[in-house]
Homo-oligomer: A and B are copies of this chain.
Amino acid sequence: MMKYCSHCGSQVEIRVPEGDNRPRHVCNTCSTVHYQNPKMVVGCIPVWERKVLLCRRAIEPRYGLWTVPAGFMENGETSRQGAVRETLEEACARVEVEGLYTLFNLPHINQVYLLFRSRLLDLDFTAGDESLEVLLFEEQQIPWERIAFPVIRESLRLFFVDREAGEFPLRGGTILRTAEASKGYRITLDSAPEGLV
């Protein structure tokens, strides 16, 4: 929550700037408007033969649960470079990116996830600083009930359905936290694969 202007140090107020149509943090001293925008999370689904690499989280949130290597995209890099970097940092694993696979919007937390299918280049991976362990899983071994985030569970679920069909079109949609939905999330796919349960 922004209280002070990062440019001049004065207190900011929240109001709709002239010519705009939504409330922003505005500095009345130096007139800077501080925009806040969604962040991108970039990551890989690293594949070795029929197995997928997962990391068990050594950090909050969701300490101890499983995920694919992913994290906030940094300034100065491309989304692919970010996905490769996160895979190296979290799993000490080298990958070749094959293509963008899922793009999910998480508007309740202002995030957009971009996950890339990627080919693991060797088996010399190990847990990075933010992982407790890193393992390869066959589809039937995936710890579905212990996946850290709905966006990762949904991406993996789509991945195995599409792998069965032999094609990986771009998948994605919107995942919204909601009080009404079962399990607390409503997932809307832009296009669902045939045979998805």
Chain A: residues with CB nearer than 8 A to chain B?
A: 1-9, 11-12, 19, 21-22, 25, 34-40, 72-81, 89, 99-100, 103, 105, 107-108, 110, 112, 129, 170, 172, 174, 190
Contacts and interface: CB of A to CB of B under 8 A. Distances in A.
* Copies held by the complex: 2
A9 B4 contact: yes
Contact of A8 (B4, B19, B74): B4
A114 to B, nearest CB: 8
A41 to B, nearest CB: 10
Contacts of A112: 40, 73, 79
B107 A37 contact: no
Given A3-B7, A4-B5, A72 B37 contact: yes
Given A6-B2, A19-B129, A110-B75, A103 B100 contact: yes
A78 B37 contact: no
Given A4-B6, A73-B112, 20 more contacts: A2-B6, A3-B6, A3-B7, A3-B9, A5-B6, A6-B25, A22-B74, A37-B73, A37-B75, A38-B73, A40-B112, A75-B110, A76-B107, A76-B108, A76-B110, A79-B103, A79-B112, A81-B107, A100-B103, A170-B170
Nearest to A12: B6
A137 to B, nearest CB: 27
Contacts of A38: 40, 73-75
Nearest to A21: B89
Contacts of A34: 6
A13 to B, nearest CB: 13
Contacts of A81: 107
